[in-house]
Structure 1
Amino acid sequence: MNTHPQTAPAARPEADGTPDALGTSAARARSAELEQLIAEDPGRFRVLTGDRPTGRLHLGHYFGTLHNRVRLQNLGVELFVIIADYQVLTDRDVADDLKGHVEELILDHLAIGVDPERSTIFTHSAVPALNQLMLPFLSLVSVAELNRNPTVKDEIAHSRQSAVSGLMFTYPVHQAADILFCKANLVPVGQDQLPHLEITRTIARRFNDRYGQGGPVLPRPEALLSNAPLLLGTDGTKMSKSRGNAITLAAGADETARLLKGAKTDSERHITYDPAGRPEVASLLLLAALCQDRTPEEVADDIGAAGAAALKKTVTEAVNEYLAPIRARRAEYARDRGQLRRILREGNERANAVADATLAEVRAAMNGDY
C-alpha cells in the first residue's frame, strides 16, 4: 500500500489572509476546484472519513455523507473509513454494546458499496501509533484555541454528562490525529466541521514549521464540502439516532412504511415544495426526489391535491425501492459475522502499517528515533 500519497495542491489563503482560516465561501469555491482535480487525477488524493459507533446509520447519514464516500472510492480516491470507537467515550460514561455497534457500522458500509479490497475500514482503538500522535499534536495548540472551537462548544452544550471530560475538550486534536496518521489530504466535511479541520491544518503547519527541516512531514488536508441535503426526521426535527425519528438503512420495508405513515406534515392539502414555509412536507418531497433521481418540485407536481396520504405513499415506495438492493446486500453480509471480523482485522492491519510509518517519520523529525 502506498503510505505517502501525493500532496494535494496547496490551499489558497482565505479572505482574512490567514492560511488556516477555512471560511465557508472560500471552502465552497475550493471544493469545486478539488472536484475537478479529483476527476483529472483521483490517485493523488487520500480521504479520511468515518463515524462513531453509537447505532445504525440512517437515511440522513446516507444522503449526507455515505453515498459520497462510495462515489469517491469508485472514482479511484484512496479511502480510509475510521470507526471511531474511542471517540464514543467523549460524550458518554459507558459505551453500551460497542462491539455490536462496530459490526453494524461495518455492515452499513459494506451494504452501500464500500469495497474492503479498495478501501480501508478500521477501528480507532486498534491503531496504537495513531493515538501516540496525540501527545506531540497537543503540544502545538493552546488551551485558548481549544476552548473557543465552536464545534467543541456545541458538543459540550449538548453533552448528557454532568461534567465534561478531558477527552471531549481535546476532541479536535484527537480528530487531527485521525486525519494525519494516514496523511489524508482530503476530508469530506459539512460546514459545521470546518473548525475541526482548521485545527488539523494548524497542527500540520506548526509541526512542519517546527520540525520539518528537510521538508513538510505532514500534509495540510483540505475540506471537500458537499451540497448534502438536510433531511428532517419523521417528527419534523433533525434526523438523529438518539431521537428515534430516523429510518435506518437496516430497517425493513414494513418498518419504513410504519415510520413514514406517522411522519409529520401539515394541514394544507395541496402538496408544494416550500422548504421555508412547509419544512416537513419539503423534507419528505426531497427524500422521494433523492431516491427517484428527480427534483422535489417534480414529485410535488405529481402529487398535487392528493394530499399528505399520497405524499407518504409516494415517499414510502420510493425509499423502499431505493433501499431494496442495499438491504439485500446487508442481509447477505450479516449472515457471516466471521467475514466481518476478517474485514476489520485486515483493515486494522493496513491502518497500523500506515500509522507506524507516519509515527516513525514524526519521531525522526523530532529527533526522537532512538
Structure 2
Amino acid sequence: MNTNPQTAGPDASVSGPFPDTLGVSAAQARSAVLEELILKDPGRFRVLTGDRPTGRLHLGHYFGTLHNRVRLQDLGVEMFVVIADYQVLTDRDVADNLTGYVEELVLDYLAIGVDPARSTIFTHSAVPALNQLMLPFLSLVSVAELNRNPTVKDEISNSRQSAVSGLMFTYPVHQAADILFCKGNLVPVGQDQLPHIEITRAIARRFNDRYGGGTAVFPQPDALLSSAALLLGTDGTKMSKSRRNAITLAADEDETARLIKGAKTDSERHITYDPSTRPEVSSLLLLAGLCQNRTPQQVAADIGSAGAAALKKTVTEAVNEYLAPIRARRTEYAQDPAFLRQTLHEGNERARAVADATLAEVRAAMNSHYY
C-alpha cells in the first residue's frame, strides 16, 4: 500500500451537489450518489473507520458496520481501521483490560474478513503524529461548537461518571484527526454520527482557508450512511456491550441458543413483522432474515402461528449457521498470537508513516517547519 497521503488514495475531495452542512435526508441522497461512485472508481476513496476496545464485538456491530467494511475493502476502497484505545477514556476513569480488548478486536476483524494486506489496522496510542494533529485542529473550533454537538451531549447524559473529563469535549476533534491524518474522504457512519462528520468537514475547510494558501491540504470527507436497520438486544433495548444484552461474534452455539431463548418477545402467538408495534419480535425476525439473506416478512410467513418458541428456534439456527465460518476463523487466528501481534505491528508502522507525512505537511503549511 502506498503510504504517502499526497500521492495515494483519494482526490482532495469528492464533488457533489450538496451543501457543507447536511441534514439526514440530504446525507442519505449523497450516500446513494457515493455508492454509485464507489462502484465506478473505488480507488478514489479512502475510508477511516474503527471501534473503541471496550469488549467483544457483537451482531449489532456486525450487521451495522463490520460487514460493510469488508464489502468496501473487497470493492477496492482503501481502508484504515483504528482501534481507538485513547478514546476509551472519554467516558470512564481507567481503561480496563485494554491489552485483552485490543487483541479481541483484532481477532474479530480478521475473523469477519478484514484483510491486513488491504486494510490498515492500527491503534491510537501507536501513532503519535495523529494525536498531535488534535492541537492545531482544536484552534479551529469554538467551545460553543463543541458544547452544542448533540452526540457529545448524548454521551455525557449517558456517561457512567459523575463528571466527565475534558477529553469528552475534544472527542469530535480527535475523531477529526483520525479521519484527516490519512486524508480520509469517506466515513461510514450512522445518522447519530453526522454531527462529528460536520465538525471534521469544518476543520478541514478552516485549515485549508487559514493555512492552505490556495491549496486543499485536507479533503472534506463525506459521510456514507448505512442502510442497516437497528437490531435490539435480547432485553428489547439497544444492543450494547455494557448492557450485557448482545450476542458476540465469539459466542459459541450453546451460549447463542441460551441468549436467544431468553430474548424478550410478546404474548401474541401469530408471528408478524411490525417494528412499530412488535419491536422485539420484529428484531428477531430481522436478525434471522439477515443471516438467511431473506426478508423478515418471509421469515415471519414461514413461522406463522407456531409462536415465540418456533421463532427463537429459527433465529438460533440461522445465527449459528451464519456465524459458524466466522467462529472457525476466529478460533484459528486465536491459536496464532504472533500473527495478531504482527498484524498490529505492521498496521501501526503503515499508519505512522502516513501520519508523519501529514504532520510534516501541516507544519509546513503553518510555517512551523523550522527544525
Q: Which amino acid aligns with 2:14?
A: P
Within-5 A mapping of 1:145-164: 145-164=145-164
* 1:55-86 residue CA offsets vs partner (Å, 9 max, x unmatched): 00000000000000000000000000000000
TM-score computed with the length of structure 2 as normaliser: 0.97
Aligned position for 1:10: 15
Q: Which amino acid aligns with 2:103?
A: E
1:11 Cα deviation from its structure 2 partner: 4.1
Aligned position for 1:328: 328
1:214 Cα deviation from its structure 2 partner: 4.4
Structure-2 separation of matches of 1:6 and 1:262: 47
Identity of aligned residues (%): 81
**Equivalent residues of 2:208, 2:214 under 8 A apart:** no
TM-score computed with the length of structure 1 as normaliser: 0.98
Structure-2 separation of matches of 1:191 and 1:12: 20
Structure-1 separation of matches of 2:168 and 2:157: 11
Q: Where do 5+ consecutive residues of structure 1 fail to align?
A: none
* 1:137-169 residue CA offsets vs partner (Å, 9 max, x unmatched): 000000000000000000111111111101011
Within-5 A mapping of 1:153-302: 153-302=153-302
**Equivalent residues of 2:173, 2:200 under 8 A apart:** yes
Aligned position for 2:360: 360
Q: Which amino acid aligns with 1:10?
A: S
Question: Which SS does the other structure have where 2:117 is aligned?
Answer: coil
Structure-2 separation of matches of 1:229 and 1:109: 21
Question: Which SS does the other structure have where 2:304 is aligned?
Answer: helix
Q: Which amino acid aligns with 1:351?
A: A
* 1:21-65 residue CA offsets vs partner (Å, 9 max, x unmatched): 121111000100000000000000000000000000000000000
Question: Which SS does the other structure have where 1:170 is aligned?
Answer: helix
* 1:266-304 residue CA offsets vs partner (Å, 9 max, x unmatched): 000010111111000000000000000000000000000
Aligned position for 1:57: 57
1:94 Cα deviation from its structure 2 partner: 1.0
Question: Which SS does the other structure have where 1:361 is aligned?
Answer: helix
Aligned position for 1:43: 43
Aligned position for 1:33: 33
Q: Which amino acid aligns with 2:144?
A: A
Structure-2 separation of matches of 1:128 and 1:206: 23
Task: Tell me if 1:127 matches 2:127.
Answer: yes
Structure-1 separation of matches of 2:258 and 2:163: 38
Question: Which SS does the other structure have where 2:265 is aligned?
Answer: coil
Structure-2 separation of matches of 1:162 and 1:260: 34
Q: Which amino acid aligns with 1:230?
A: L
Structure-2 separation of matches of 1:252 and 1:202: 45
Question: Which SS does the other structure have where 1:121 is aligned?
Answer: strand
Aligned position for 2:136: 136
Question: Which SS does the other structure have where 1:318 is aligned?
Answer: helix
Alignment length (residue pairs): 365
Query: Cα RMSD (Å) of the superposition?
Result: 0.8
1:9 Cα deviation from its structure 2 partner: 1.9
Q: Which amino acid aligns with 2:15?
A: A
Structure-1 separation of matches of 2:293 and 2:344: 33
**Equivalent residues of 2:18, 2:26 under 8 A apart:** no
**Equivalent residues of 2:140, 2:207 under 8 A apart:** yes
